[in-house]
Structure formats: C-alpha cells, structure tokens
C-alpha cells in the first residue's frame, strides 16, 4: 500500500482512486472525496448533472450512457494506482416500492447488468453499489451477486438506516461493498462516530421564507406557491400529523375513498425534533408527502431538501443567471446518494485497506 503525507478529515491519504458510474449531481462522489478517496471520473447520461458535478467536486464529469462506456474509458481514468474502486448507483425507480408500474420491459432494469459488465472487464480491487432495498428481491441483483462471486470478490451487503449515520432523514438504502482481498464490512455508526441529527439541527437556521418566496441570497432556497385551499390545509396541519387532522371540508375527495386512506403520509409537516421523512423526487411539493415545513406555512425548499440529503449548505446546483427548475432539480436532489452515506462508504474502504 502506498500512503502520502497529506490528510483529509483525519484519514491518511491512500492511493484509492474511484470512478463513479451513474454519478448524478455528485452525492456519492462528494462523500468519497470527503472520506479521503480520490475520484477521477463521474459518468452520467443526464446533461443537467454536469454543472453541479464539476463545480463542487475535484472529479471530471463524462456525459455518456453506461451502455457506451468501455473498459478503455475506465482504464484511462484509473491510470496507475494501487487500488481501484468502481462505484455504481443505477437509477432506482425501477426497484422502488413507490413504483407500481415498472416491469422487466423498463430499460433501467438492465443498467445494473451494464455495471456488472464493467466490473468483469476491469476487475477493480473494490466495488460498491447503493440502491433501494427493493432491489434485493429481483433476479437482476442475484445475477450481480453471482457475477461478483465468480470474479473472486468477497461481498458484504445490507440495508442501512441513514438516520443512524447522522443523516437527518429516515431513509433506508441497500449498500454493497466488495473486495478482492478478503471480508469487508461497512463501518458501524459507532465506528464512524455518527451523531443523530434532527430537522431543526439541519435546516433550523435558514432564512424564513413564505409560500412562493425566494431567498435573495440563495436562489435554491425557494418554495412553491400554495393555492388558497392548500394554504388552509397547511395551516390545519401539525408536525408529524396527517390530513386526517383536518376539518372535513379540507379533506380531498380521493382521501375519502378506500384507496386514499392508505396514504396518510401526504399533506403533512415534518417534526423539528426528528429526522425528515424519506425525500422523494417531488419533496418540494406539500401534497407529495410529509414535506411541509415544521412551522412556516410552505413546503420545504430545494436547498432544504439538499441539506437533508447532507449536501453542503453552499453546494452549487445551477449556474449563475440560469433559471431554477424545481422539477428537474427535485429529481436530481431526491435521487442522489446522501453525501454522508458516501463518506461512510469511503471510510469503510480506507479502513479495509489499512488492515491489509
């Protein structure tokens, strides 16, 4: 193992270089960099990811579909290094419990197979993957595990509760670590030194804004306009409550039906004292989940969502002068790997290397 004299966050510089496939806006990349791992390249098919990825990370963004990424691309990015880490978080909507319509005809179903192909072609020393827990129940994941086994990897995977690692959000994720050198494990919250964090601790100091307002110093800290009816619903909502707390005249017709009563988590406020609910790609809308601000009469802002995903407070998502598009940014932020989870993953690999 080769070690340098530089340190980042108290972790000795170690010659682990990573490539982040399906990198998005850089949640995993930033977390790996924060842990002390060098990330050479991030690959994603979405051009909207290029500005935030390049602006906030040391790695370089490559606009390319994983289907068109070959071994030569990765070898060039990895260069001459002691340990190579291939990271891949395939888009998860196909496997999510929120998705009631996806089937094997959805092309995203097969993206994990392309990632597995890259592992077979490159045979990196380390592999990591993060996804929704529902992936465990699908044949494509079993195929991926079998491929890793045949390629000589020791594999460890399990469902992680993000709030246990200091992420201010109830979010469960499937995390897989693989090594060619022996058994590897994700650091426990105690080993990582995690402290649980509440919504208040995460976003309580941000400038108050109203429905439809924008923070003049941060265009990402803006909220959607509430209709008159939804403003009445918001004011009738209590932190941690549901639409069942409202007066009868405010209850939506669909909620009065049998199917509507199975969704008590919509139209609610977060609680200051707890982590937030799992952020979806539409967290900026009051009616899309329990995404109401704990005390201000509005849904949480894009910036607040990013902070709950543990992006730094000043993470740049939009180029100066460019319009903030809530739908596009909500998708990118909601789909991201929480930065702090990426740091846990990175430090787990560094600890593994130290034991070799």
Burial tier of 68 (Cβ tally within 10 Å: 0-12, 13-18, 19+) = exposed
Q: Is position 92 annotated as part of the catalytic site?
A: yes
Burial tier of 356 (Cβ tally within 10 Å: 0-12, 13-18, 19+) = exposed
Alpha carbon 253 to its chain's center: 34
Residue 239 dihedral angles phi and psi, to the nearest 5°: -55, 130
Residue 68 dihedral angles phi and psi, to the nearest 5°: -105, 5
CA–CA dist 245, 263 (Å, integer): 14
Which of 184, 162, 189 lies closest to 350 in space, CA to CA? 184
Structure tokens at 328: 């596009």
Beta strands in 70-223 (DSSP E): 83-88, 126-131, 154-161, 172-179, 214-215, 218-222
Alpha carbon 329 to its chain's center: 13
Residue 313: partners with Cβ closer than 8 Å, 6 or more residues away: 303, 307
Given 62, 92, 162, 224, the catalytic residue: 92
CA–CA dist 87, 3 (Å, integer): 22
CA–CA dist 219, 318 (Å, integer): 9
Contact 111, 22 (CB under 8 A): yes
Q: How many helices (H) and strands (E) does the chain have?
A: 12, 11
- Name the strand (E) or helix (H) holding 327: helix 326-335
Longest dimension (CA), the chain: 68
- Residues known to be catalytic: 92
């Amino acid at each position: 193992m080769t070690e340098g004299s530089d340190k980042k966050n108290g972790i000795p510089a170690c010659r682990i270089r990573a490539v982040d496939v399906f990198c998005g806006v850089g949640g995993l990349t930033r977390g790996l960099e924060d842990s002390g791992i060098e990330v050479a390249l991030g690959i994603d098919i979405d051009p909207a990811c290029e500005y935030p990825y390049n602006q906030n990370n040391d790695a370089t963004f490559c606009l390319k579909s994983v289907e068109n990424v070959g071994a030569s691309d990765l070898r060039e990015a990895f260069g001459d290094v002691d340990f190579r880490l291939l990271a891949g978080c395939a888009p998860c909507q196909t496997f999510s419990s929120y998705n009631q319509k996806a089937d094997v005809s959805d092309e995203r179903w097969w993206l994990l197979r392309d990632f597995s192909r890259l592992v077979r072609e490159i045979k990196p020393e380390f592999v990591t993957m993060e996804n929704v827990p529902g992936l465990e129940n699908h044949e494509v994941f079993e195929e991926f595990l079998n491929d890793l086994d045949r390629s000589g990897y020791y594999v460890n995977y399990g469902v992680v509760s993000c709030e246990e690692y200091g992420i201010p959000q109830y979010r469960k994720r499937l995390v897989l670590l693989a090594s060619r050198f022996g058994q590897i494990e994700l650091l426990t919250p105690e080993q990582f030194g995690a402290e649980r964090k509440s919504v208040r601790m995460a976003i309580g100091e941000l400038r108050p804004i109203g429905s439809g307002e924008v923070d003049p110093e941060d265009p990402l800290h803006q909220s959607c306009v509430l209709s008159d009816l939804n403003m009445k619903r918001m004011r009738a909502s209590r932190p941690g409550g549901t639409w069942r707390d409202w007066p009868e005249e405010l209850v939506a017709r669909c909620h009065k039906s049998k199917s509507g009563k199975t969704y008590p988590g919509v139209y609610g406020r977060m609680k200051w004292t707890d982590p937030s609910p799992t952020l979806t790609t539409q967290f900026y809308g009051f009616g899309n989940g329990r995404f109401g601000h704990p005390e201000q009469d509005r849904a949480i802002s894009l910036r607040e969502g990013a902070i709950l995903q543990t992006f730094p407070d000043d993470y740049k998502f939009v180029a100066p002068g460019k319009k903030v598009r809530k739908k596009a940014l909500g998708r990118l932020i909601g789909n991201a790997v929480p930065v702090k989870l990426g740091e846990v993953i990175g430090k787990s690999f560094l600890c593994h290397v130290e034991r070799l």
